[in-house]
Amino acid sequence: MELCVALDLPSAEENLALARSLKSYNVWMKVGFRAYIRDGKPFIEALKAINPDFKIFLDLKLYDIPNTMADAAEEITRLGVDMFNIHASAGAVAMKTVMERLSTYDKRPLVLAVTALTSFDEANFQSVYEKSIDEKAEQFAKMSYENGLDGVVCSAYESRAIKKATSEEFLTLCPGIRPFGEDAGDQQRVATLDLAKQEGVDFPVVGRPIYKDSDPKKKVEEILKEIVTF
């Protein structure tokens, strides 16, 4: 299990200060819409300059026509990040096109597909996808597995079933983690670190419980201690 810290603070300076405070830890840095739209490639470079061993997950959730997605996937690969994601609902052809395009690179990032956003509750999800979260997340996961992706983004509650339906090695990255039961915010399907461990989650993603804490570094230490004792 590897901790992924969401850098969702309002400015590059604040995100970089958080990253600097965590530079001696073996953690992933999640760069999302907010940071990437505002701070772009120089921000990725600044993170690498703080610690060249930081792994970077670019969370842009691509969703477009297959060729446009593959073009974007190539640009992301050239940025030198270690993982990015696409929306599974973009479909099998988009998945295949992205993976084929990246197969020409010696070193490519891990590619994950978003199944159901963890902010969806059941009613809202069904109003869009006309299926239960469980059912659709598993279907999207199988499609992603069959088309060569490395894993999926899902809630901790679907992680075990997804691995059973695909492979133990198929990665699950799960946002909505409230390590020790902290405030859920806008997330609907939150899970503690304990539950994430039971469900075999590979990458727990934690944002607000870390960066809104009065001592983010200590919080990360507590989380890592919990992960290591597993």
Nearer to ligand C5P, 66 or 175 (CB): 175
Residue closest to ligand C5P when measured from CB atoms: 207
Select which of 61, 96, 131, 212 is catalytic: 61
Q: How far is the CB of 30 from ligand C5P (least distance, A)?
A: 6
Rule CB under 6 A: choose which of 19, 111, 114, 133 binds ligand C5P.
114
Cα of first residue to Cα of last residue in the chain, in angstroms, is 9
Q: Is 225 a catalytic residue?
A: no
- Residue 18 is a binding residue for ligand C5P (CB under 6 A): no
Measured between alpha carbons, how far is 52 from 57 in angstroms, rounded to an integer? Answer: 14
Nearer to ligand C5P, 77 or 155 (CB): 155
Rule CB under 6 A: choose which of 22, 27, 59, 90 binds ligand C5P.
59
Residue whose pair of structure tokens reads 């290591």 in the numeric block: 228
Q: How far is the CB of 57 from ligand C5P (least distance, A)?
A: 10
